[in-house]
Homo-oligomer: A and B are copies of this chain.
């Protein structure tokens, strides 16, 4: 597959780092992995759900398991020292990648979802009071929306959802009117996983701060796809997941401003996060360890470091350009058809396009696309309330990453046409 865009990425070379892109599909799916009846090339356009994992990341984890696997923090023997250093430095690397001040501001969680819950359980249960409110948006992922909704219910606080306009952009006037001096937290998604909308998170954070509220930005779709600087955004909390940025499953990152994390009580308690335990009481470790109880995701941290190395080698600006270009191309090609409805803005969008083909349920469409090797996501994308706003039960989403090409989008368009014929 040739390099097919002007973003400067050597897509052909990149694809060689991802063995799964050679995979054929079409046969028995009840047995994981390829089988002889698989005969259809794969066009993987489901990157917003999870990205694939390059050799460099898998090999870094294999090296960990084969060469210096050990529990961390407390061991004095050589393997434990090596593992500890790698694990601790992974925090530095993640901090640097998103512009945090240092490892004190980087807590490893299991995923973005846990990062939200961590803040809800620690900040939320101790600080959020009846009469106060949390402002979030109609386009939040369930990780954020359900967390704030449930927290507000528990605390007797109000939850407010900022509306979207017809283009699928955040209505900033509505946001300004909903944030008031009783607002304790403003939480918004950086890049919408359904609409592709890129929100003005720095402005949103400023508005929060003007009213003395904190801001929590959901970066699950942003960190993998563009340069992110949490200091520039001035976000109080920011979260993302390893598995969406070429890294492994089982690891996510909560960024928090140091003074905030210091003030919060711990979340999970147990080993590694304590300083001194007596039968009568316990004192806590310093940051970030205070928030990392038990044996942490060590191999996953090593994998995350390798993923960050890979992304920086390619260059986040180039990845952003490549994605934007593919998204624009997909949007334009899908726009050619009157029976296709596209969601989200045309300009300034992340590298994904959500749409529906008239008369064909998204799940049926996805099944038919799969038959042509085109892997997209169909459903509610963990944004059910947003789908209610859009007035559809589900949508189909094609999402792109550094290894995707225009040719794959052409395959998508062709496969959509087959579905159109079938249901005509």
Query: Which residues of chain A have a CB within 8 Å of any CB of chain B?
Result: 19-20, 23, 25-26, 29-34, 42, 44, 46, 49-50, 52-53, 57-58, 61-71, 74-83, 85-86, 110-114, 116-117, 121, 138, 141-147, 149-150, 153, 161, 241, 243, 248-252, 267-272, 274, 276-279, 281-282, 293-300, 302, 363, 366-367, 369-370, 374-379, 382, 384-385, 388
What is the distance, in angstroms, from A226's C-beta to the closest C-beta of chain B? 20
A-B pairs with beta carbons under 8 Å apart, 13 shown: A31-B82, A32-B67, A32-B302, A44-B79, A49-B70, A53-B65, A53-B69, A71-B243, A110-B110, A117-B267, A141-B270, A146-B282, A248-B250
Residues of B within 8 A of A279 (CB): 138, 149, 161, 385, 388
CB <8 Å contact, A34 and B67: yes
| Complexed CA–CA distance, A32 and B366 (Å) | 44
Residues of B within 8 A of A385 (CB): 277-279
What is the distance, in angstroms, from A246's C-beta to the closest C-beta of chain B? 10
Interface of A is mostly: mixed
Name which residue of chain B comes closest to A27, CB basis: B78
CB <8 Å contact, B32 and A296: no
CB <8 Å contact, B282 and A150: yes
Given contacts A161-B279, A278-B388, A295-B50, are A77 and B110 in contact (CB under 8 A)? no
Residues of B within 8 A of A367 (CB): 76
| Complexed CA–CA distance, A69 and B269 (Å) | 32
| Complexed CA–CA distance, A385 and B243 (Å) | 38
| Complexed CA–CA distance, A270 and B239 (Å) | 14
Most B CB within 10 A of own CB, among A75, A250, A279 = A250
CB <8 Å contact, A46 and B34: no
CB <8 Å contact, A67 and B277: no
| Complexed CA–CA distance, A272 and B61 (Å) | 27
Contact partner of A80 (CB less than 8 A), chosen from B19, B46, B269, is B46
Contact partner of A270 (CB less than 8 A), chosen from B62, B65, B113, B298, is B113
